[in-house]
């Protein structure tokens, strides 16, 4: 039996719980399934081992040095602009399909999507765990004419590195920071890397808000423990989140029900509904790799069984997006998915076609 979370989470569970309740990296049940939702009480200090110096038989406690003064927090100008846009009309955020560590691919995909979507969500993927550092990647995306909605995970850096990265992202002017605990290193392409998980997504949301960002988090309505997912979101809101990406939940009605449950317990966030993007078999396989994926009934069959899956996938995504945008509190949609290797620009054009069909970015 698991006795502690492999990600050292305090405000669990993560979105990686399987439908049967098992952990994403263990056949055992998630340790958070049978415990009450942890209430937000701030970020606990890390356990500190006293520094000691020794001179033969003399052992003395040496004080930790004081930190150098730091400049005032710079609120993200991009975050302010994004808040104003969300208050004006629905938004479209597209997963960014550019190849990892490839500035030319970022520029190419950026040229295709510029002016067609309001922001691009730039996180990581199981097949490409190694990415440019978030702030540098954001600067490349900005140079390509797009607003980055930066994915920010707790797997790869400790709290000190996170604080520095968040300061850099605020200085760069990203539109928002999306805080996730992150997939464990035992999943994806780099099982050889040591997982950090100094903090979790709820704690990262607090750090990001304090650093001046518009902060989003994710929640998975279809993932165990289903009945406590709204309460967990309430704790993320208390920590500083303003926007919730609603992960694939099976269609419009499950999202409507989740938002209603969250509203009933006092959650007042804006919601961005994730729209599964399938335009060929490679993009369908990538979606199937997502933990506890829940798609609308018949969605994949409709697209992959069509004479032209590309056109049918675009039509299905536009239709589902319009249904999501009709829901109360839904402030936008996330075009969620990815391309097969070498088809990043082709997939970016599909995302642009879907955004064009949704039509809100031209209002």
- With a cut of 70, say whether residue 50 has pLDDT above it: no
Instruction: Flag the least confident range among 172-176, 332-336, 337-341.
Output: 337-341
Beta bridge partners of 306: none
- With a cut of 60, say whether residue 57 has pLDDT above it: no
Q: Who has greater pLDDT, 59 or 40? A: 40
The pLDDT confidence band at residue 64, using thresholds 50, 70 and 90, is confident
Q: Give dist(CA 314, CA 332) in Å, integer.
A: 17
- With a cut of 90, say whether residue 215 has pLDDT above it: yes
Task: Say what the pTM is.
Answer: 0.94
314 phi/psi in degrees, rounded to 5: -65, -45
Kindly state the average pLDDT of the residues 182-189.
Answer: 93
State residue 317's pLDDT score.
Answer: 98
State residue 289's pLDDT score.
Answer: 77
State residue 310's pLDDT score.
Answer: 97
Domains (range + CATH), the chain:
74-362 (3.20.20.220)
- With a cut of 90, say whether residue 196 has pLDDT above it: yes
State residue 52's pLDDT score.
Answer: 54
State residue 363's pLDDT score.
Answer: 59
In the numeric block, which tokens belong to residue 20?
A: 């049967």
Kindly state the average pLDDT of the residues 84-103.
Answer: 97
State residue 68's pLDDT score.
Answer: 83
In the numeric block, which tokens belong to residue 342?
A: 């070498």
The pLDDT confidence band at residue 164, using thresholds 50, 70 and 90, is very high
Scan for tokens 């406690």, then name that residue.
Answer: 61
Q: Which of 261, 247, 274, 276 is nearest to 337 (CA)?
A: 276
CA distances from 89 to 18, 27, 82, 84, 232 (A): 35, 44, 11, 9, 27
Kindly state the average pLDDT of the residues 192-199.
Answer: 96
Q: Give dist(CA 170, CA 337) in Å, integer.
A: 26
Percent share of the chain, pLDDT over 70: 95
Q: Give dist(CA 7, CA 13) in Å, integer.
A: 10
Do 138 and 169 form a contact (C-beta atoms < 8 A)? yes
Do 43 and 63 form a contact (C-beta atoms < 8 A)? no
Q: Give dist(CA 32, CA 224) in Å, integer.
A: 10
Do 357 and 318 form a contact (C-beta atoms < 8 A)? yes
Give the count of alpha carbons within 13 A of 351, CB side only: 36
When the pLDDT of each residue in the chain is averaged and rounded to a whole number, the result is 93
Do 261 and 230 form a contact (C-beta atoms < 8 A)? yes
Kindly state the average pLDDT of the residues 128-150.
Answer: 97
| 116-128 confidence digits (pLDDT tens) | 999 999 998 888 8
Q: Give dist(CA 169, CA 122) in Å, integer.
A: 13
311 phi/psi in degrees, rounded to 5: -70, -40
Q: Is 17 helix (H, G, I), strand (E, B) or coil?
A: coil
- With a cut of 60, say whether residue 60 has pLDDT above it: no
Q: Give dist(CA 360, CA 116) in Å, integer.
A: 9
C-beta neighbour count of 76 within 10 angstroms = 25
State residue 126's pLDDT score.
Answer: 80
Q: Give dist(CA 319, CA 337) in Å, integer.
A: 16
| 267-303 confidence digits (pLDDT tens) | 999 999 999 999 999 899 888 877 778 999 999 999 9
- With a cut of 90, say whether residue 1 has pLDDT above it: no
């Amino acid at each position: 039996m698991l006795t502690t979370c492999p990600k050292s989470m305090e405000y669990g569970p993560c979105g990686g719980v399987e439908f049967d309740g098992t952990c994403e990296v263990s056949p055992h049940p998630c340790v958070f399934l049978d415990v009450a939702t942890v209430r937000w009480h701030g970020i606990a200090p890390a356990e500190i081992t006293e520094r000691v110096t020794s001179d033969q038989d003399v052992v003395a406690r040496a004080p930790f040095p004081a930190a150098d003064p730091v400049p005032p927090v710079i609120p993200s100008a991009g975050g302010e602009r994004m808040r104003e846009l969300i208050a004006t009309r629905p938004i479209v955020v597209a997963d960014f399909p550019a190849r990892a560590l490839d500035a030319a691919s970022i520029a190419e995909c950026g040229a295709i999507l510029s002016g067609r979507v309001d922001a691009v969500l730039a996180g990581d993927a199981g097949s490409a765990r190694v990415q440019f550092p978030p702030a540098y990647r954001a600067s490349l995306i900005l140079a390509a004419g797009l607003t980055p909605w930066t994915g920010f995970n707790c797997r790869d850096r400790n709290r000190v590195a996170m604080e520095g990265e968040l300061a850099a992202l605020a200085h760069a002017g990203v539109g928002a920071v999306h805080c996730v605990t992150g997939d464990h290193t035992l999943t994806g392409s780099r099982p050889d890397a040591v997982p950090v998980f100094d903090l979790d997504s709820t704690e990262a949301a607090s750090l990001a808000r304090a650093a001046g960002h518009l902060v989003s988090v994710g929640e998975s309505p279809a993932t165990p423990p289903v009945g406590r997912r709204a309460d967990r979101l309430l704790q993320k809101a208390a920590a500083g989140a303003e926007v919730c990406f609603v992960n694939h939940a099976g269609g419009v009605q499950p999202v409507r029900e989740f938002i209603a449950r969250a509203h009933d317990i006092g959650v007042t966030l804006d919601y961005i509904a994730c729209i599964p993007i399938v335009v060929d078999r490679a993009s369908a396989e990538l979606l199937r790799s997502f933990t506890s994926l829940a798609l609308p009934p018949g969605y994949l069959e409709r697209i992959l069984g069509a004479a032209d899956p590309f056109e049918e996938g675009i039509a299905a995504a536009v239709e589902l997006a319009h249904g999501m945008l009709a829901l109360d509190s839904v402030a936008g949609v996330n075009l969620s998915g990815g391309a097969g290797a070498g088809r990043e620009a082709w997939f970016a054009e599909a995302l642009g076609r879907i955004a064009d069909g949704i039509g809100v970015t031209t209002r």
